[in-house]
Chain A
């Protein structure tokens, strides 16, 4: 029962272009969504988040879009840089559920110079 789905295990993008990572969810009770980046042998690092009352949040090169009716969110990275190469995890929190996060399986992004 995968409540948070990242259907693309991997993505390859040219440096300078846009990277778009997608995430779908099934639970309409999720009220908060986060993106984390993970390098090998390290823990996940928080990147950006969005509350369910918003449809867009931007932080520098990173923008997260939320489409509640479609239960879909996406992370845009523009311009992409080689240092962005990592595994990106989408996570969601169930409202009132002790802040327990439900995670997708991750998308491995490779940004080629």
Chain B
């Protein structure tokens, strides 16, 4: 997991607040992916981004969730007006260009909504 940095590791929010999760990919990686793991479930794809572009957001809920990967700085996953069902572990992964490059994951952000 060395290289993909996610922060914070733990985030507690009350219902209705906003959550911002940050991900810095490995050096030299230009592709970022966000996955969510709900309790007792496997990882679910949310969104795939390259610098300044959203390539595939088919796994993102249509409302309250957004993601960006700006030219400078980390990728941000933003959840507005959080609800209890958003409580999960959110993992970011990165990869270099190349169709068969395995993903390298960060250690995740565990979001708890109270």
Contacts and interface: CB of A to CB of B under 8 A. Distances in A.
Interface of A: 4, 32, 34, 36, 41-46, 49, 51, 89, 91, 98-106
Interface of B: 1, 4, 6, 31, 35, 41-45, 48, 55-56, 58-59, 91, 93, 95, 99-100, 102-108
Given A44-B91, A45-B1, A100 B105 contact: no
A41 B1 CA distance: 12
| Most chain B beta-carbon neighbours within 10 Å: one of A34, A43, A103 | A43
B43 A44 contact: yes
B103 A103 contact: no
- 10 A-B pairs with least C-beta separation: A43-B105, A46-B102, A103-B42, A105-B42, A103-B43, A98-B56, A43-B107, A100-B45, A44-B105, A43-B1
A8 B57 CA distance: 31
Contacts of B4: 43
Nearest to A98: B56
